[in-house]
Homo-oligomer: A and B are copies of this chain.
Amino acid sequence: MEVGFIGLGIMGRPMAGHLAKAGHRPHVVRRAKAVPPELNAVVHETARAVAESAEVVILMLPDTPDVEAVLFGPDGVAEGLAEGKLVIDMSSISPTATQTFAERIEAQGSGYVDAPVSGGEAGAKAASLTIMAGGPQIHFDRARPLFEAMGRSITHIGPRNGDGQVAKVANQIVVALTIEAVAEALVFAAKAGADPRKVREALLGGFAGSKILDVHGLRMIERAFDPGFRVALHQKDLNIALQAARELKMALPNTAATQELFNVCRALGGANWDHSALVRVLETMAAHEVG
């Protein structure tokens, strides 16, 4: 299939690579850095040209304004779309903005699927991403073979555009708040004089057990704060959560508090630390380290 791929960053590059390996031909936009030759990509001057040449256009961009600019800016995707094409936005962006973008694209006769991922750079490289998709069944079915080339756990959350983004926001809330929970527990244990390694082991067997306690708990104990997933990116996601909650008229009290703690993490110089380094904020608040 002729597949447009816009956003060849840390995530997008390996994802487009898996599509190429699966026999699809990537269409990309010329950029400052050279396009990796192993993609065998067709290089275009504009997003519009990509949309004109490809049947499906995938976006993998940092944030909501980037998606809006690439879709609807001058020489953007929307200018190159025609009846029957499909836009798949795999960026993690605002669920409410996604609904608006989808309506505008569908008004032009093209389909839209939002399909944010979790699993990070490692998941992108290993083609083991978790993909959470929203949009009409017919468009999801068309996108599925592409998803299968890039991910392992693929869920069609619902038929409404934005449903995938809602699931991704929910995911980032749970991950952030569980990291914070593990951080409070391990700093408490250390400050109280117990061995955080033993506490982590004991807790893994019961209801406190989680992937976060396993992986990020160990990172906290071993002081392994190279990313992983960067504090600044998790802050972007929690910002989407809090903004959406405000628009929906609802409260996310611990998400809001945890975003504040991430602010402290950045005050400590941690924008590019792994998000498990949130423990350093709790350690500062206890004048005591876990590791």
B-binding residues in A (CB < 8 A): 95, 118-119, 130, 132, 134, 152-153, 155-158, 160, 162-163, 166-167, 169-171, 173-178, 180-182, 184-189, 191-195, 198-199, 201-203, 205-213, 215, 241, 244-245, 248-255, 257-258, 261, 282, 285-288
B251 touches A254 (CB 8 A): no
Taking a contact as CB atoms closer than 8 A, the residue among B158, B169, B208, B286 that contacts A178 in the complex is B208
A181: which B residues are within 8 A, CB to CB?
A: 173-174, 176-178, 181, 254
Inside 8 A of A202's CB, which chain B residues have their CB?
130, 132, 153, 155, 157, 167, 171
Check A185 against B171 for contact (C-beta < 8 Å).
Answer: yes
- 16 cross-chain CB contacts under 8 A: A118-B208, A157-B199, A166-B188, A170-B188, A170-B194, A171-B208, A174-B181, A177-B181, A177-B254, A188-B245, A188-B250, A207-B212, A208-B212, A210-B213, A250-B287, A251-B285
Q: A251-B286, A257-B253 are known contacts. Are A178 and B178 too (CB-CB below 8 A)?
A: yes
Complex Cα distance, B209 from A55, in Å, reads 35
Whether B253 contacts A261 by the Cβ 8 Å rule is yes
Which residues of B sit under 8 angstroms from A176, Cβ to Cβ? 181
Chain B proximity of A141: nearest CB distance (Å): 16
Contact status A248-B191, CB under 8 Å: yes
Q: Please give, as numbers and ranges, the residues of chain B lying within 8 Å of A285 by CB-CB distance.
A: 250-251, 253
Q: Is the beta-carbon distance between B254 and A254 smaller than 8 angstroms?
A: yes
Q: How far is the CB of A246 from chain B (nearest CB, A)?
A: 12
Given A155-B201, A177-B254, 19 more pairs with CB closer than 8 A: A152-B205, A153-B202, A155-B202, A162-B193, A162-B194, A167-B189, A173-B181, A173-B185, A174-B182, A174-B210, A178-B210, A181-B254, A187-B250, A191-B248, A206-B211, A210-B211, A248-B286, A251-B286, A254-B254
Q: Is the CB of A130 within 8 A of B184?
A: no
Q: Separation in Å of the A71 CB from the closest CB of chain B?
A: 21
A-B pairs, top 6 by smallest CB distance, nearest first, are: A177-B181, A210-B210, A250-B286, A155-B202, A170-B185, A153-B205
